[in-house]
Structure formats: C-alpha cells, structure tokens
Structure 1
Amino acid sequence: MTFDAFALHPLVLKAVAACGLTEPTPVQAEAIPHVLAGRDVLATAATGTGKTAAYLLPVLSAIAAQPVRRHPGAPTVLILTPTRELAGQVGRSVRDFGKFANVQSVEIVGGMPYREQLRRLARPVDVAVATPGRLLDHVRANRLDLSRIDTLILDEADRMLDMGFAEDVAAIGAACPAERRTLLFTATLDRAMETLARALLRDPARVAIATTESKPDIVQALFHADDLAHKKALLAHHVSRPEVGKAIVFVATKRDADDLARELAEAGHAVAALHGDLSQGQRNHTLKRLHDGRLRLLVATDVAARGIDVRDISHVINFDLPRVAEDYVHRIGRTGRAGATGTAISFAGRDDMGLVIRIERFTHTPLPVMVVPGLEPKLPPRRAPSRPGPKRPGNGGFRKDGPRGEGGFRKEGARKDGGFRKDGPRPGKRDAAGRRPSRGDAGRKRA
C-alpha cells in the first residue's frame, strides 16, 4: 500500500513524497481513512509508530480542500501535546506536510516570551499546536479564540494525564465547540484514559496497534503515621536511603511546600519547593536544576507539578494523600518511566483511611502496608467514614501560629524530635515512654 491509496489532497501527497515517505505505517493505514471520513478516533499506538502523520495528513488535506478563511488568533485545528519539545516536533511536521498547501500554524508553549506569542497569535492561522497550561493562559485572557475549532487532537494523551493536565484538557474541551471531532492518540489505555475518552469523544473509531511498550513498573507502599512528627521521621528515613535518586514529595498546600522544603534544606538535602506562587521564570529555573541534577528533592503541590517532565524520577512520596483518587495515579506516573522501575511511597495519617479506600477502589489495587523498623505506628488508624470529609486539623498540616512542638526537622535526634538524620543509628524500637510497638505491627511487611 502507498499513500496514493488514500484520498489525500494532491498538495499534501506532494509534501509526503518530498519528505521521503513511501508506505504508511500500520497506525497510519488504520487511522487515516477514519479521519478522512470525519470520525472521532481513539488510537492506541506507541511513540515512534508514525502517529503524527496518521492525524496530520488527513487533517491538512481537509484544510487544503477548503477556501482560505483564516482569522487572527482563531485556528480551526488545535493539537495538544504534553511538552513543548513534542509541540516543536509536531509544529515542524505541520510545516513539512503543509508547505505546498500554504497551511499557517502557530506554536503556543511555555518558555516562550509572551510578546513573541502575542505577535504570532495576531496573524491569521489554521493550526495551533500547544501545551495545555500556556494555551489556557491565552484563552482566559481572550487572546486566543477557540470558537472556530472543528478538530481537536490530543497527542500522547496518557503523558498529559501523568503530568497533571487532566483538568486543563477538560477545560479546553469545554471551550471548543460541541460540534467538533476529536482525535485522541495514546500509548496506553487505562481506566483514566477511558474516562477522558468518554468525556471528549463521540462514538469513536478505535485503532489499536500492538506495542511492546510496557506499562510503568511502579512499586507502591503505604506507611501509617501517628502524627505530623511521625510523618516527618518517615520522610527523613526514606529520603536518606541511597537508592533514592531524584524524588518528588507531594504536599497539600503552598505553605506546606515552603515549610517542608526549608526544613529538608536545613537537614542538608538539595531541595526546592514548587508551587503556584512562583513566577514562570522561577519555576523553569527550579525544574532545570532538578533536570541537571543540582536538586535531588522537589516538594510540590498538585497544581504546580502540572507539566513536570523529568524522566529519571526514582521516587514519588505522597507526604499528604491527594483528595481525589485519580490524582494519585497522575502523581505516581511521574516515576517508572522509560523502562525504569519507580517507587511510590504514601503516608497515611490516622484520619486518612477514607482517602486510602478511594485510591484502592479507583486503582483496583490494595496498597501494601509496610513499616520502618523503629518507626512503627503506635496508634491504629481511625475507622474511615462512609463519606470522607475534609481533612481534620493537625493531620499533616504545618502550624504557622504558636510553637511547632515536636514537628520540626533536625539533623540529629530520634523520632520525637522530628529530625532528618543524615548518619548515626536509627531510633530504637522503644519510644520515649519505654513502650514497645503494638502486636498488630508484627504481621506487617518491613521496608
């Protein structure tokens, strides 16, 4: 089979030949006819299988067949990608395949000065290639009009979810016309992806190309904590272990991120906080330090962690459990990439059993409960309510008023001091009052 077998526009076929393409790949052979027919498409195919051309060639053919009706800042095709690097690759493909058809495109990504993007958005455009966060910035500022979108494309949608863009993608879908078609391409098709597909697609044609790409290999563990000091002692233990390369520590609030990062730094760790109060420049600088290895730990909130794309994260630590079970999947998806094994560690306070149950129900997987010798919980978890409510005060929060009591971090000291020990023996199995761990701990696994 050749590309001439498809009803592609002659100017697009000319570009295909100029690019040296002769035979369609399996995903192209299956997807192109559905896209040409105007169907929504849900395609599962690994990276490197030619999926970009699978959606671009028929979409650009449709543009080439229509009279030119471009409007400034109002594209008819929107392509979402998880990273600016992928957006750049897709943008180059749009230019390569659309050059003879005079297709005009714009890339809307983070890291580019707003002034330059505003200049580009002022031009008439057919195709916009964008990362979700920066695109929404322009939409909410009325600098980009999505009312003319007739085709919405999600490329590497699974990575977008892993990077925390689920809400942004939903908002973008809602901002586009209801009478549009949607093409969704993903390397994996799990429950979260099926949920997204149901929300965005209408009676899609399904394309599934066999792939050797395996699901992320992530070892999960749950540690029960009596209180804030116990959580900090557990964190001190884990982040000091030699197998922890780069780790993201998730917390509930911006204040928590700042406080925990400061105390970890005082204990000698290379760490920074990432939250919504940081400017884009500060955020980029922090992520570059993490990428370059100058940072080992990143303490982040869910909102600020959207868009993090660092491939060598060895551990994700949920210092605070997420309120939404799906966010747990997105958090831990930042480790175990590119064939590596990752580790996801979660701390559950005594009042967090409702959140644990939500996560286990959503993932259909029980979280293995483990303990650290010498740091076993002394109190049982409280029974989960039927509808877990707001988190109770004192369970994982940082107090700004009054003394911290035993919640601080120190380079030396046992668990009662809440310290981060860089060396020296672990705390003994007796607590300060001489109590031994409860018998219920005997059956738990050891970390």
Structure 2
Amino acid sequence: MSFTQLQLAAPILRAIAQCGYTEPTPIQKQSIPEILAGRDLLGSAQTGTGKTAAFMLPVLHRLAVLKKGPKGAPRVLVMTPTRELAAQVIGATRDYGRFLRLRSAVILGGSAYGPQFRDLGRPIDLVVGTPGRLIDHLERGSLDLSRLEVLILDEADRMLDMGFKEDVEKVVAAAPAGRQTLLFTATLDRTMENLARRLLNDPVRVDIAGRKPTLDQIAQRLHVADNVAHKKRLLQHCVEADELRQAIIFSATKRDADALARELAAQGHRAAALHGDMSQGMRNRTVRDLRQGRVRLLVATDVAARGIDVPGISHVINFDLPMAAEDYIHRIGRTGRAGASGTAISFASNGADVQRLERIERLLGECLPQVEIPGLEPTRPLRRARPAGKRPGRSGGKGYGGFKRGKGKPGTQRRREPVVEYRSCKGGTARQG
C-alpha cells in the first residue's frame, strides 16, 4: 500500500513525498482509514512505529478544508504528557502540513504566556499542549473547546502515570460530546482500557504493539555493578565504543543527571544534561544540539526525555533502572526508531535495583542477557528473589566485542577485547559458549 491509496489531500501527499516516505507503517495503514471515516480509535503501538503520523496525517486532511471560527477555539486539540513530545507533534504538523494554510499553536507549561495569549487571541485550527497549561487557559477563558472536532490523547498511559488524570477529565468535560476522540498509548493495561471505555464511543482498536512490549531490533544487555563507582567505570567503557553514535543515558534524579553530564564532559565527551529544572529555552537548545550532532551523550531524566525522536540515537544506557517497569519500555524506545537497530544497556547492583530489574523482566517475559567485560567484572552476583522469566539463549548478533577496554596506561593503544556472556536468571550465572 502507498500513501496515495489512503486518499489524503494532495498537499499532504506532496509533503509526505518531500519527507522521503513512500509506504505507510502498519499502524498508519490501519489507523488512517478509520480516522478519516470519523471513528473513535484506541491505538496501542510501540514507540518508533510512526504513531504520530498515524493521527496527524488524517487530522491535517480534515483541516485542509478551511473553516472560519472564533478566536481561541481550535478544531483539533492534541494533549501530550511532556513538552518534548508536544514539540515532536508540532514538528510533524509543520512537516506534513507545510503546503496547507494552517493556524496552529503550542501551549506548554514553563513557557511564556505572552506568545500563547497572542496565538489564542485569533482564530486557530490546531492546538498542541500539555495538560496543566491547557487547563490554565481553559480556566482563564483564553482557550475555547466548544467547536472542537477531534481530541487526541497522545501517550495517554504516561499522562496517567504523571498524575494528569483529573486534568484529562476536565478537558474532556469541556469538549463537545459529539467530538471524535483518538487515544494512543504505548502500553495497554486494564487502567488504559477503563479510560478508553469512558472516553471513546464505539472505538476501533488498533494494536500494533501486541503483548510483547519491546522492539525486536533493540539488542538488550545487562551489566552487573558492585556500586556507583563501578557503574561509572562501565559507563566510561561503553561510551568509548566505536559503534556508539549517540546515546541517551538515564539518571534517576535531576541532580545526578547534571553531575554525570559534567563528569562525562570533563572526560572529553560532548555531553549535556536534560531535566525538568531547566528552562524551556535551554531544553530546546539541548535537544536541538542533540539532533544536530553537537551533543553525543545526553544524560536525562525520564520525563525530560519523553518524546525525543532523534534518528541518530544508537544506544540507550540505563545508568539507573526506572522505578516503573513500563518506563523501561519508553526509555529504550528512544533507540531502534522506525525499523533501525539499536542497543539498550542497563546497569544493576544489589539492593533496590534487583526488584526493579525483576519487575522489568516480568513485563518483558524474559531475562535480560548479562554481559561481563574483561577487567570490569563484578565481584559478587545479583541476589535474586525469584526467576524473572524464561532463560535466554545465546544472544548472537550484536555483541560487545567492539567495545574498548577502559584499562591501560595513558597513551597506550587500547585493545579490542572479547566479552564473556552469562545468563542472568536465578541460581547465579552460567557461562555460555
């Protein structure tokens, strides 16, 4: 199937062609005809599958037919959990709607009110925003949802995780009952199904993700560390790998993200931090530097990195494991985008990491293959409470043979070393090969 067979407006097809796309992805093939037909939709898709275009293309098709309306009253509203994801949606709007006469605005918390009041002070077609600031404008009367035709909740699971349930319900209550509602989520659990039943009217369900939550093209590995200092030595080794083009390194706290970025920069790496305490302008510049290659290593917190879509991200490194297993899926989805291959590396130590790791492996239904790097082996194994899933076989394919050892005297040539891979399930580790 080609995009022309989806019967989108000619200006949109022209923009798609200029972007270099010829065939829709599976979620686009299934979603676009249903959205064009006016159906409510519940979409579950892994990150990097073309989800944003799956709803933006048919929405832009609708907006290609101009309708004049009152100021501050959009025809389409897209709600996202984070500013970065909102920026991604606006970017898609500009790419695919470049040949349309489209009036859009982005309404984000942490940004100045002046430009937002200006944009909402005139007729507008599309608004993309985060829940808190949208509610603020609703209460001020600067945002009017009385003529809303389409409401889109992007990454609705994350919005609930971040405590935006009440804000979502307020927006829904302010929108017309006859609107079309599209709900997209990376994970589809009972909570999301209950939300869908309340918000959607006879929806069509598109489930591209299936029940296995990770992407097959992402090679996942686990390194066991004795302590934080050991993690830092492992990280130094990993970021020196020739095959690592760009990486997002996840840290548990904003303070740790800043400190780790400074340490990496002091080692000579092009590193920067990204977290919620940074101003919106600084965050935008950091993401732009990442896209343009000026930043090779981005140390980020979960919320800040949500929605980042940079094709050059070859690796995701979990310096700290996430508290919620679902966040692991969202993290590693920053690599392996749009069918490309990627690598996800996780560090774990005894203590709280063990429970977090076991929750992740239960969600995956399998263990993360444990890899040891010669010279950086842990002195003690992880003390697991129970088996986490099926025992992995030989990983094959991408190994860590290309990594350079972080040892040797300064100025000496570093050797490429093979690695020894182990099983990571119960009963300690068993040597493979």
TM-score normalised according to structure 1 size:
0.65
In the alignment, structure 1 residue 88 sits paired with structure 2 residue 83: no
How do 1:57-96 residues align onto structure 2 when only pairs under 5 Å count? Answer: 70=70, 72-75=71-74, 77-80=76-79, 82-89=88-95, 95=101
Shift of 1:209: 11
**Within 2, Cα distance between the matches of 1:238 and 1:19?**
42
Q: Give the corresponding residue for 1:371.
A: 372
User: Mind listing any 5+ residue stretches in structure 1 that lack a counterpart?
Assistant: 1-12, 97-104, 386-411, 430-439
**Within 2, Cα distance between the matches of 1:153 and 1:231?**
44
Q: Give the corresponding residue for 2:422.
A: none
Q: Give the corresponding residue for 2:23.
A: none
Amino acid at match of 1:177: V
Q: Relative to 1, partners in 2 of residues 1:302 and 1:444: Cα closer, same or farther, differing over 3 Å?
A: farther
Q: Give the corresponding residue for 2:278.
A: 278
Amino acid at match of 2:127: V
Superposed CA deviations along residues 15-71 of structure 1, whole A, max 9, x for unmatched, are 9689899xxx986554434x2xxx52236895798864644566888x96xxx873x
Shift of 1:341: 0.6
**Within 2, Cα distance between the matches of 1:32 and 1:47?**
15
Aligned-residue sequence identity (percent) comes to 39
How do 1:361-440 residues align onto structure 2 when only pairs under 5 Å count? Answer: 361-384=362-385, 424=414
**Within 2, Cα distance between the matches of 1:107 and 1:248?**
29
Q: Give the corresponding residue for 2:401.
A: none
Q: Relative to 1, partners in 2 of residues 1:180 and 1:275: Cα closer, same or farther, differing over 3 Å?
A: farther
Q: Relative to 1, partners in 2 of residues 1:146 and 1:209: Cα closer, same or farther, differing over 3 Å?
A: same
Shift of 1:293: 1.5
Q: Give the corresponding residue for 2:289.
A: 289
Report SS of the residue matched to 2:127: strand
Report SS of the residue matched to 1:176: helix
CA RMSD of aligned residues (A): 4.7
User: Mind listing any 5+ residue stretches in structure 2 that lack a counterpart?
Assistant: 1-6, 15-28, 80-85, 387-404, 420-426
Superposed CA deviations along residues 248-301 of structure 1, whole A, max 9, x for unmatched, are 110011111111111112212111111222222222222222222122111111
Amino acid at match of 1:323: M
Q: Relative to 1, partners in 2 of residues 1:195 and 1:343: Cα closer, same or farther, differing over 3 Å?
A: farther
Amino acid at match of 1:264: L
Q: Relative to 1, partners in 2 of residues 1:372 and 1:280: Cα closer, same or farther, differing over 3 Å?
A: same
Q: Give the corresponding residue for 1:407.
A: none
Q: Relative to 1, partners in 2 of residues 1:79 and 1:278: Cα closer, same or farther, differing over 3 Å?
A: closer
In the alignment, structure 1 residue 359 sits paired with structure 2 residue 364: no
In the alignment, structure 1 residue 174 sits paired with structure 2 residue 166: no
**Within 2, Cα distance between the matches of 1:301 and 1:268?**
22
Shift of 1:153: 3.4
Specify the structure having the higher radius of gyration (Cα): 1
Q: Give the corresponding residue for 1:202.
A: 200
Q: Relative to 1, partners in 2 of residues 1:89 and 1:184: Cα closer, same or farther, differing over 3 Å?
A: farther
Q: Relative to 1, partners in 2 of residues 1:198 and 1:370: Cα closer, same or farther, differing over 3 Å?
A: farther
Shift of 1:358: 1.2
Report SS of the residue matched to 1:347: strand
Superposed CA deviations along residues 361-383 of structure 1, whole A, max 9, x for unmatched, are 22333222222122222123244
Q: Relative to 1, partners in 2 of residues 1:17 and 1:60: Cα closer, same or farther, differing over 3 Å?
A: closer
- Which of 171, 175, 183 is 2:181 aligned to? 183
Shift of 1:421: 10
**Within 1, Cα distance between the matches of 2:410 and 2:344?**
20
How do 1:3-402 residues align onto structure 2 when only pairs under 5 Å count? Answer: 29-33=33-37, 35=38, 39-42=39-42, 52=56, 54-55=58-59, 70=70, 72-75=71-74, 77-80=76-79, 82-89=88-95, 95=101, 105-108=103-106, 114-125=113-124, 127-130=125-128, 132-133=129-130, 136-140=132-136, 142=139, 144-145=142-143, 148=146, 150-154=148-152, 157=154, 167=162, 173-178=168-173, 179=177, 181-184=179-182, 191-192=187-188, 196=192, 198-200=194-196, 201-206=199-204, 215=215, 217-351=217-351, 352-384=353-385
Is the 8 Å Cα contact of residues 41 and 183 (structure 1) preserved in structure 2? yes
Q: Give the corresponding residue for 1:443.
A: 430
